[in-house]
Structure 1
Amino acid sequence: MVSSSSFSLSRAVLGGLTSPKTPLTNSLSLCRRGIAGKVLRDRSEPKPAPWDYNKKSFNLLHGLYDKTTLRLDENSKMIMVDGAHAVGKTQFAQDLAEELEMLYMPKITMDDFYINKYGEDARKLDEYLTDRNKSYDEKDFFRNPVALPGCYDRMHNSLFKLMVHQHLLALRHILNTGQGVVMERGPFSDLIYAQAAVNAGWMSQSSVKFMRTSREMCMGHLFRPNLIIWLDAPISEVQKKICSRGNEWDKDSPVWKNSQYLHDIYEGMKNNYLQKARNHSQVLVYDWTVPGDIEVVVEDIEDLNFDYYGLHDEQQKDWRWFNEAEATSLRIHYSNPERFRRIMAQMEAFECFEAEHLYKTREEDDNMAFALLMLKGNGYATGYNEVCGDNVLFKSSKIESMFSWQQLWSIKKSDNDKRYV
């Protein structure tokens, strides 16, 4: 019923890190002890208060008096939850985060793409947009995966970028607070889902090729999860559960009726991604047709080894740091807004002319930009929009909070009068 193991691709070395020939001891690395449930947590050592990374960045000067390793403990880790559809992954991840006293980060959806920080939804702008710019989300996909040429290609690419963005936010949180993170799905397994869509005829192979290149530009900055949990279930049971949900967009869906599509995802995950992931991450697989006891899962996690490996062992390699200087360098890397932006910008650092469904003309880009300016909150960076009630007195653009995905579109305030929709 349960299997556990480990994975490893070589992670790009971040600039400016010190790297001694031998680690001090395993106990000084982030993976110094196994994950513990809240009942068994070691609270004997006082920890510094969490760094408020939303209000201030972290630099070398801060590192002189705010030590990174002092706030890290046995639960300062990343857990990725994935599995078959409709088996209860969200509830499982929430319960697991509570039991391990970790932060739960919900699954990325197109709501994260369309809804800005002020709650304004870009999907209501469709009447002003060209066909390639019109909104398309998960509900539209379930109703019709080929509603418009390349509609799923663009949606999938957007979701992938958002997952990379969330993964970086998770690393920032762990390094600045010491609290671990439980997430649903992630960018590392995304190509399995993309290839399944290609096999079903819903996505272009040229789009997948572009995404592979985009992936290579950014994935070296991401730490692979300490633990991956896969919740399995037979396809027939998945389809029954989806039918029982009673959602209008699930009814007679060509997606859920396509058993081969689901088979390609589940078999690709179990026989391809998870098998490779065992080299660098611990892996647990459960039959979750009938939800089990979360306490049993916690006990299984507590039995896993996250620490005692050799210097050159691939298992947990991404999280094996050697001293305070390296930990501080990594923390600066993931806390600095400008470096954060550059990581995301690398994904767009090349043209995608061959990916016909992802490439947009200048006119289409302008159409999207001007339409977005019709939404409240898109005129300026978050926190600087007076029309939304923000107090901008004495604020400097140097300290703006720049981590919403919409700001990566480089939306600027229009010089012309505009009406809000």
Structure 2
Amino acid sequence: MALRVVRLFVPTGAAAFRAGAAVRTAGIHTSTVRNLRYGWWAYALGERTTPRFKENSKIFCIDGNLASGKGALAQKLADKMGMLYMPEPDVHYLDKMTGEKVPLDTSYNGNCSLEKFYMDPKASDGNSYRLQSWMYLMRLLQYTDAIEHLLTTGQGVVLERSPFSDLVFVEAMFKQGYIRKECVDHYNEVKSVSLCEFLPPHLVIYVDSPAEEVQKKLNASGKPYLQKVQIDYLKSIETSYKKTFLPKISEESEVLAYDTTQAQDIERVAEDIDYLKFEKGPWIEQDDVTFHHMRMLVEDKQKVANMTAIPRYIPEVTIGAHEFDKGFYSFKSLPGKRYAEGYNEDAGDKGIWLK
């Protein structure tokens, strides 16, 4: 059993992102306490997705190497086109989904560390693959948040990377000897049974920044762990993008590529997007029926998370029953985690018996 399932916690919606959206959402779907959720009855009573779709009701993913300027481009593009910007998730993305006031301990967040990976990528405790496995789940959950937001509100979403491009890190890690072949096989199996359930992005924008330039930016960041990133690892990421990911994703999604200077010209990028016809990929084959089933899936975050927990033993991410039990009760002992939200006296909830 993978460590990630210790938290039987995953919320049923992307409330944090929807709360900040200026676009009107479907009334049957949105409630402060989520008593009225989108479901079979909503569809039966006439709730439909396609009437909300506009020209920019799409999902764009901005990809590129570390420190390539993805975030700046994604933010500017979202502002320019009236879309929602979702920054790249970190290991604590789940804490943001569940509305934690402060990030929980890493033992409840994949038991991994990005800083440790950069400082010691070949750590014997399996941190490197545990991090990669956890980050795939975080990207997958964020991607379902993006799809849910799109289908619920009609507002498009701009993401930094996605679970579709996550493979570039696995290939780079394996090439540099950071993870074992068994880890790659495990990752590919997880991805084969999970990612196939979701529609790919409409557009992928690749920011091409040479590995040497990336390393200079990382060294100038002032963060010691980023200064430890090896140039060979950065080159492997760049190679994987160009030889594996971009050729594959171009079969179903539109692809645009810019160097770091061109990516700063947001007017040019927006103009290039206007010329795209978006006539490829599975999105054009969808209708209200298929969107209904997709909405049902993406709002069930626990079901999405369960897709990544396959019954395969691999030391880096597998734990025993006793360790699982210990982690589960440890999580339940945290303030506000024993019962449903609003019913925990230790978290300061009042009037519990009147609710």
Q: Under TM normalisation by the shorter chain, which class is it? A: 0.7 to 0.9
User: Normalised by the size of structure 2, how large is the TM-score?
Assistant: 0.83
Q: Distance in 2 between matches of 1:66 and 1:394?
A: 33
- From 273, 280, 292, the equivalent of 2:252 is 280
Q: Does the aligned pair in 2 maintain the 1:223–1:319 contact within 8 Å? A: no
Partner of 1:122: 104
- From 216, 223, 229, the equivalent of 1:247 is 223
Partner of 2:339: 380
1:270 and 2:270 correspond: no
Query: Which sections of structure 2, spanning at least 5 residues, go unmatched?
Result: 1-22
1:356 and 2:315 correspond: yes
Q: CA offsets, 1:108-139, max 9 Å, x none? A: 1112246752224333779xxxxxx9943212
Q: Does the aligned pair in 2 maintain the 1:81–1:183 contact within 8 Å? A: yes
Partner of 1:4: none
Partner of 2:114: 138
Partner of 1:198: 174
Q: Distance in 2 between matches of 1:259 and 1:163?
A: 25
Q: CA offsets, 1:126-173, max 9 Å, x none? A: 9xxxxxx99432122222223442111111111111111111121111
1:110 and 2:75 correspond: no
Partner of 1:369: 328
- From 294, 301, 310, the equivalent of 2:273 is 301
Instruction: State which structure, 1 or 2, has the greater radius of gyration over its C-alpha atoms.
Output: 1
Q: Does the aligned pair in 1 maintain the 2:122–2:128 contact within 8 Å? A: yes
Partner of 1:401: none
What letter matches 1:123 in structure 2? D
- From 21, 24, 38, the equivalent of 1:58 is 38
SS at match of 2:148: helix
SS at match of 1:318: helix
Matches within 5 A, 1:67-216: 67-113=48-94, 117-123=99-105, 135-216=111-192
Q: Distance in 1 between matches of 2:143 and 2:278?
A: 20
What letter matches 1:347 in structure 2? T
- From 345, 348, 351, the equivalent of 2:306 is 345
Q: Distance in 2 between matches of 1:124 and 1:219?
A: 25
Q: Does the aligned pair in 2 maintain the 1:48–1:71 contact within 8 Å? A: no
Q: Distance in 1 between matches of 2:246 and 2:83?
A: 23
Post-superposition shift, 1:187?
0.9
SS at match of 1:300: helix
Count the aligned residue pairs.
326
Root mean square deviation of aligned Cα: 2.6
- Of 172-181 and 57-66, more deviation after overlay is shown by 57-66
Q: Does the aligned pair in 1 maintain the 2:110–2:134 contact within 8 Å? A: no
Post-superposition shift, 1:180?
0.7
Q: Does the aligned pair in 2 maintain the 1:77–1:179 contact within 8 Å? A: yes
Q: Distance in 2 between matches of 1:394 and 1:270?
A: 59
CA 1:143 to 1:172, structure 2 compared with 1: closer, same or farther past 3 Å? same
Q: Distance in 2 between matches of 1:114 and 1:102?
A: 24
SS at match of 1:245: coil
- Of 51-60 and 206-215, more deviation after overlay is shown by 51-60
Q: Does the aligned pair in 2 maintain the 1:80–1:184 contact within 8 Å? A: yes
CA 1:372 to 1:243, structure 2 compared with 1: closer, same or farther past 3 Å? same
What letter matches 1:260 in structure 2? D
User: Normalised by the size of structure 1, how large is the TM-score?
Assistant: 0.71
Query: Which sections of structure 1, spanning at least 5 residues, go unmatched?
Result: 1-46, 127-132, 308-314, 396-421
What letter matches 2:100 in structure 1? Y
Q: Distance in 2 between matches of 1:225 and 1:148?
A: 36
Post-superposition shift, 1:91?
1.9
Post-superposition shift, 1:199?
1.6
CA 1:137 to 1:76, structure 2 compared with 1: closer, same or farther past 3 Å? same
Q: Distance in 1 between matches of 2:38 and 2:94?
A: 27
Q: CA offsets, 1:315-356, max 9 Å, x none? A: 22234224x344334334434x3xx433332322x3222x22
| Percent identical | 29
1:330 and 2:294 correspond: yes
Q: Distance in 1 between matches of 2:77 and 2:40?
A: 35
SS at match of 1:81: strand
Post-superposition shift, 1:94?
1.2
Q: Does the aligned pair in 2 maintain the 1:234–1:289 contact within 8 Å? A: no
Q: Distance in 2 between matches of 1:148 and 1:373?
A: 30
What letter matches 1:351 in structure 2? P
CA 1:367 to 1:134, structure 2 compared with 1: closer, same or farther past 3 Å? farther
Post-superposition shift, 1:281?
0.3
CA 1:260 to 1:281, structure 2 compared with 1: closer, same or farther past 3 Å? same
Q: CA offsets, 1:396-421, max 9 Å, x none? A: xxxxxxxxxxxxxxxxxxxxxxxxxx
Partner of 2:4: none
Q: Does the aligned pair in 2 maintain the 1:117–1:382 contact within 8 Å? A: no
